Structure 1
Amino acid sequence: MDLNQLKSFVAVAHQQNLTQAAETLHLSQPAVSAQIKALEKHLDVQLFDRNAQGMSLTAAGQSLLPRAEDMLQQMHQLDAFAGSIKHDYHLQADIGIIQMLPPTVLAECVSLIKSQYPHIHQTFSLGLSGIILNQVRRKELQGGFFVGDNPYRNLHVIDLMPLQFEVVMPSDWQNQFANSSAAMQNLPWISLSAFSALTKFEQKIWRQWKVKPTTALQCDDMYALLALVEQKHGLALLPSHYLDQHANTHIHRLPDIKLSEMLSFIYPIELELDPVIAAWRTILEQVKSHAVQM
């Protein structure tokens, strides 16, 4: 027994006519007839008396009808409830984040989403700016935070706030540095991979100073990067807000070498009307306004 058989049975019982029942079900008459015969075979009982006037229920059919109607009604209620679950609980947001994202910005985004859109479940994936950019472009993520230039026309960019970046070195190296290009050329740098936005920012500084320093190490993790600077393995470029949070006496922040780059949120243009992206656009405008007021 299946639901289609029960639907056909109830429709024929109400219409008392096979053709009219088929019309209400948007099925062919042979299809409805086949379902009735299959149900009767499954139950091993005759459910209708067939005559020239149409089809009337037998005693067994009259006994089955209210139970079949109850079951179909329960299925209708279950379908409606399942639809509400999908609307209220099954919206999934897969968002890319980067280490350069200030924790206070992410925390505010999460708080606003939870208070205004509690039905959206958030999943955050950590990556480098270049990787997040490609994942969003390929729609592996619905959106993501990004620092740098967007080369793709199919991605929309929401600018949030400028981030400041500084060059740091071990404190013991200050005597070797006199803000000269010669010193910059001779000191080793801890570089990052091509997927990190910091790599391009480093190159901006090198072009500004007209140098091409030696790269001693490569490290994409900001926590490890700062530790490597402290251990005198080289210079590095890091966000100012990160340095403010991890201030110590083992590093020296070069006052004359700074950059400002825009922190943005990117998403595919074709997801403009997606409810998840619409929610994120709304809360990002609120976060942006707070950042401007600060």
Structure 2
Amino acid sequence: MDIYQLRTFVAVAREGSITRASERVFLSQPAVSAHIKAIEDTLGITLFERTVRGMSLTSHGQLILVKAEQALGMHREVIDEATRIRGRLAGRLRLGASSSATTELTSRLLKEFSERHPEVNVSLQHCTSLDPVSSICNGDLDAGFYDEASEPNAELSTIETSRFEISLVASTGLVSAGEIPKPHCFGDVPWIYPTSNPCYAQAAESLFRQYNFRPKQVISVDHENVTRVLLAHGVGVGLLQEAAAREAQMCGDVTVVCSARKAVRVLYAQLASRAQDPLLYAVRAILSDLIGCSGTKQWLAEDALEHFQLGSRDPRTHQTSQSVSTVTC
């Protein structure tokens, strides 16, 4: 039984499906099944019950899962320690970003990181709004940027990188000169917004409740740019970030109807349990330089103090090597 078989076992346990686990670990379904069989043969116990709904852990499997995750954690710590001894930052950094994450900030972050740490392989996955959160929590991403309209997941440590408001806008041809109609007046035309993004979906639902109506048609898109293109072609009304709404109005493509939601935060997030990870410390240090966030600097100072109390070197000189695992987004 090797470390790769343990990773496969954990993936199947977390996904509850051979198919989804195979996508997560980049193996064929027969290979995943072979890994599970090999572990069961080695241990002499049944780890899963095969049902029509997928793979369900047995009571023995649940106990083994705890130990397997501990073993994978120790495996990563061994690699991290070996890299620290070698004295350089190396490995792989896996980042995710929702469509609302500031392109300029992520671009500058990647540029600075690659210049400071050329031996680290960095990947950036563009995701729907909450995909980075689930991927960070299940270990498929190391960190990411996402939209948050309420309170972050308790497992995460976050840094606010920016804020934006959401505006309701209408195709120019739908609004005549003079008074701008209320949102419920657009109930007969399509409403366009990314329904998979909770911030936009909540903004739309708030307007529906406030004005006591529901549109006859909703067109779900995966990116705000698609909304703007459709509105420019006179399709209906939609939700845009305030800055994009103003720009589109100046171009004559839309008319701003009203504010739909205020203060959506774009957050950088990572697992709180990885606060001492040198690779993620390096990311936070660069973010601190880029956004000048006093909260970020306080976070870094607290990390440095904890490292000092543990008798470690300056955490900025600590090195790590991330295990190369899969990214699903």
Q: State the TM-score bracket (shorter-chain normalisation).
A: 0.5 to 0.7
Query: Is contact 1:189–1:216 with CA below 8 Å preserved after alignment?
Result: yes
**Among 255, 277, 285, which residue is 2:280 paired with?**
277
Looking at structure 1, the residues matched to 236 and 143 of structure 2 have their Cα atoms a distance apart, in angstroms, of 34
SS at match of 1:175: coil
C-alpha deviation, 1:142, in angstroms: 0.6
User: Does 2:225 match 1:254?
Assistant: no
Equivalent in the alignment of 2:307? none
Q: Distance in 2 between matches of 1:261 and 1:196?
A: 11
- Superposed, which structure 2 residues align to 1:134-145 within 5 Å? 134-145=134-145
- Structure 2 distance, partners of 1:291, 1:199, is 32
In structure 2, the residue corresponding to 1:134 is in which secondary structure? helix
Counterpart code for 2:131: I
CA distance in 2, matches of 1:154, 1:180: 40
Question: 1:122 — aligned with what?
Answer: 122
Deviates more, 1:104-113 or 1:139-148: 104-113
Separation in 1, partners of 2:246, 2:124: 24
Residue 290 and residue 254 in structure 1: after superposition, are their counterparts in 2 closer, same or farther (change >3 A)?
farther
8 Å contact kept, 1:158–1:264? yes
Deviation >4 Å, runs of 4+: 82-87, 243-247, 255-258
Matched-pair identity in %: 14
Contact 2:156 2:269 in 1 (8 A): yes
Q: What is the rounded CA distance, in whole Å, between the counterparts of 1:107 and 1:245 in structure 2? A: 22
Q: 2:290 is matched by which residue type in structure 1?
A: V
Q: Deviations over 1:68-100 (max 9, x none)?
A: xxxxxxxxxxxxxx9589754633111001211
Residue 156 of structure 1 corresponds to: 157
**1:103: which partner in 2?**
103
Give the superposition deviation at 1:262: 0.9
CA distance in structure 2 between the partners assigned to 1:98 and 1:198 by the alignment? 13
Determine the structure 2 residue equivalent to 1:180: 182
5+ unaligned residues in a row in structure 2: which ranges? Answer: 1-81, 296-329
Distance in 1 separating the partners of 2:182 and 2:227 = 24
Summarize the Cα distance change of 1:90–1:115 in structure 2 as closer, same or farther, 3 Å threshold.
closer
Paired residue for 1:25?
none
Q: Where does residue 12 of structure 1 map in the other structure?
A: none
Structure 1 counterpart SS, 2:222: coil
Aligned to 1:204, what secondary structure does the other structure show?
A: helix
The residue aligned with 1:236 is: 238
Q: TM-score, normalised by structure 1?
A: 0.61
CA-atom RMSD in angstroms: 3.1
Corresponding letter in the other structure for 1:131 = D
Q: Which amino acid aligns with 1:270?
A: S
> 2:194 is aligned with what amino acid?
L
Q: Secondary structure of 1:206's partner?
A: helix
Task: Kindly provide the CA deviation profile for residues 92-126 of structure 1, in whole angstroms up to 9, marking residues without a partner as x.
Answer: 11100121112222222223323444443321000
Larger Rg: 1
Number of aligned residues: 211
Q: Does 2:271 align with 1:264?
A: no
Q: Equivalents in 1 of 2:98, 2:207: separation in Å? A: 22
Equivalent position SS for 2:255: strand
Distance 2:121 2:247 in 1: 29
2: distance between equivalents of 1:111 and 1:147?
23
Shift in Å, 1:255: 4.9
Conservation of the 8 A alpha-carbon contact between 2:95 and 2:124? yes
Q: After alignment, is 93-102 or 210-219 more displaced?
A: 210-219
Q: 1:191 aligns with which of 193, 204, 215?
A: 193
Distance, in Å, in 2 between the alignment partners of 1:291 and 1:272 is 17
Q: Structure 1 residues 257 and 270 mapped into 2: Cα distance closer, same or farther (>3 Å)?
A: closer
The corresponding residue for 2:172 is 171
Sort the Cα spacing of 1:222 and 1:191 in 2 relative to 1 into closer, same or farther, 3 A. closer
